[in-house]
Structure 1
Amino acid sequence: MSRTIYESVQMDNNLPMRILHFSHEKALVSPGGNTYHFDTATLQFVPPHWHRSIELTYVVNGTLQVRQSEQEQTYQDDSFFIINSGDIHELSSVPTDNFELICFIISYDFIQQFIPNIEKIRFDMATTQETAAELSGLFYDILTLYNENQEFGHLKIQARLIEILYLLCQYHQVENHLPASRKYLRSQQLNKQILEYIHVHYMENLTLERLAKTFNFSREHFSRLFKETFGKTFLVYLNDYRLYCAFPEIVNSRKTIEAISIAHGFPSSKALIKQFKEVYHETPMQFRKNRKVSILDHNDDKKR
């Protein structure tokens, strides 16, 4: 299951957005008809990635950790956060019985129809709490309309979505403090290229020395740069990503752990087992035996 850093988000039918609703009470139904049940025993993790779409999330209950650029933020009950277009971000959630989250991934092209200069604008949900009640109502209106699936209901959803865009522009637009220098733009592009390289070659014997040489850095400088940029060492990130990619086969296939470890670049089955136990507190075989897990990838409805 090879991935690149860039995700071209699949939108819902007739809508300029993707609607994701995670809850312990109700299964999420994808546009392809697949259902996904929230598993409170499984740590939810999405590794660093980016997309052109703007991602607006309402954490209704529970805790979600989000890392953007070099900062990590924890969001809890009744809070909103936004991922601006092109921002590299990583998400993880702490399993709780009452966890609920609603996420709207909004088409960049749709937004640009109403906000032509969107590439020069950034939004920040921390500017004010005054819109929280109105945004919450709009989120649930859209979710209700989406679940009702009535004829022409998509038009009502788009009307609510435009109201959300108005609130973002009116109350949450912030000055773009990101430097526009060529040096900064090159560094952002380089960060994406580094992650993409890892995501393409993670199954191989990928070393810090090889990666540093590929991007014309000394080993020491590249190691320090990687830690400062992504908040973890290269080896920790690589092992996290290998486990993330191996997880579907570990829990939902009959392949041996040795075969899975080889396929996903682990130096040995012992290394995979150690990494798995650190994250899930069980061996892969214990986890496979004790749980049935449905895996949601918001870009690939065919994958279980």
Structure 2
Amino acid sequence: MSKTIYESIQMDDNLPMRILHIYPDSPLLLRDPTIPKLELDTVHFVPPHWHRSLELTYVVDGGITLRTGDKVKTYMKDSLFIINSGDIHEVSNVPSDNVEVVCLLISNDYVQSLQPECADIRFDLSTTTETHEAFIQLYQDILELYYAEDPFNYLKIQGKLLEVMYLLFTHHRVEETPHLLKKHVKTQELNKKILEYIHENYDKNLSLEMMAKEFHFSREHFARMFKETFDKTFLCYVSDYRLYRAFPEIVNSEKTIEEISLKHGFSSSKSLITQFKKKYQETPMKYRQKNKVVILDHNEINIHSKTM
């Protein structure tokens, strides 16, 4: 898994987008019969990340919590949300055994090609609910075409995608003043650099003082800014990220907890055990013995789950 938080999206064949259909029997469209059924409610921390694609998501069932910047919102059954290109975001599912999500990751180059005279195009689904039913119908049509055996259905899907873009451009495009847009971009770039630095150096002895100095802030200002931006303290975030990176080795290797804790920046094996137990209610070794775990590595962001 890459150390960067930039998520690289591989487009589907003959389409300017990636279609993800996430549900218990077939997460992330992994059409492999050897992959066991997964419980998506066991998915845990995935660090904030971004990609150049426009992300348009339909929550078919269950619930999803989305965090973008300092805003957190939970979307339940039959709801839609959008993540603009370059926006830092974190998505986690609401505990449920029936989570189903359809996500369209649309190439930013494709979006820009539809209006090449505009350098920055942003959308907001909250501008109106009039398009809600039309979006849902388009999602259903796209999935039906995607799963059909016709090798030329991608042409029909491209037509449906144009309908999606028509709705976005005519009902949900938002104009930002140059000043606000410049401020937004500048803030996003700084946040990306901070997260990138953490993700590249998480296995080292990171401290608030070190980070503040690296980004030319006072210790107090950096701590306050980080908490306001990511809704958790700097130390809590680093600890969570270390556990996220250590998890695959904890459950799927024969390495000792001492080895894993040293590799991933924990101060001691006791620290890792305490953090793991807090999140999973068991010690790492007991969890390893009791649970067979499948790690699905997708576009540099792992989703893990206990098998049935």
Q: Same fold (TM over 0.5)?
A: yes
Task: Give 1:77-156 correspondences, 5 Å limit.
Answer: 77-117=77-117, 119-156=119-156
1:175–1:68: structure 2 CA closer, same or farther, 3 Å change rule?
A: same
Partner of residue 292, structure 1: 292
Q: Mean alpha-carbon deviation: is it higher for 142-151 or for 15-24?
A: 142-151
Deviation at 1:79, TM superposition (A): 0.4
The 3-state SS of whatever aligns with 1:217 is coil
Cα deviation, 1:133-167, whole Å, max 9, x if unaligned, reads: 22112112212222224212221111111111111
C-alpha displacement of 1:253: 2.2
Distance 2:170 2:32 in 1: 36
Aligned counterpart, 2:223: 223
Shift in Å, 1:119: 3.8
Contact 1:43 1:280 in 2 (8 A): no
Any gaps of 5 or more consecutive residues in structure 2?
none
Q: CA deviation at 1:248?
A: 1.7
Distance in 1 (alpha carbons) for counterparts of 2:122 and 2:181: 17
Name the CA distance, whole Å, in 1 between partners of 2:302 and 2:45: 19
After superposition, residues 28-47 of structure 1 pair within 5 angstroms as 28-30=28-30, 35=35, 37-40=37-40, 42-47=42-47
Deviation at 1:183, TM superposition (A): 5.3
Alignment of 1:2-81 (within 5 A): 2-30=2-30, 35=35, 37-40=37-40, 42-81=42-81
Q: Indicate how the Cα distance of structure 1 residues 75 and 238 shifts in structure 2: closer, same or farther if over 3 A, else same.
A: same
Q: Cα distance 1:41–1:97, how it changes in 2: closer, same or farther (>3 A)? A: closer
Asked if structure 2 preserves the Cα contact closer than 8 Å seen for 1:59 and 1:80, the reply is: yes
Q: What is the TM-score with the length of structure 2 in the denominator?
A: 0.89
Alignment of 1:203-242 (within 5 A): 203-242=203-242
Partner of 1:264: 264
Secondary structure of the structure 1 residue equivalent to 2:82: strand
* Count of residue correspondences: 304
1: CA distance, partners of 2:177 / 2:241: 30
How far apart, CA to CA, are the structure 2 residues paired with 1:170 and 1:273?
A: 52
Instruction: Say which is worse superposed, 63-72 or 144-153, in terms of deviation.
Output: 144-153
Q: CA deviation at 1:116?
A: 2.0
User: Mean Cα displacement is larger for which, 60-69 or 251-260?
Assistant: 251-260
Query: Is the contact between residue 52 and residue 108 of structure 1 (CA under 8 Å) also seen in structure 2?
Result: yes
| Structure 1 gap segments, 5+ residues each | none
1:137-176 equivalence runs, <5 A: 137-176=137-176
Identity over the aligned pairs, expressed in percent? 56
Which letter does structure 2 place at the counterpart of 1:176? Answer: E
Q: For residue 188 of structure 1, what is the amino acid of its counterpart?
A: Q
Given the superposition, is the C-alpha separation of residues 156 and 59 from structure 1 closer, same or farther in structure 2, using an over 3 Å criterion? same
Render the CA deviation track for 1:205-233: whole Å, top value 9, x for unaligned: 11111111111112111111111122111
CA distance in 1: counterparts of 2:142 and 2:110, whole angstroms: 16
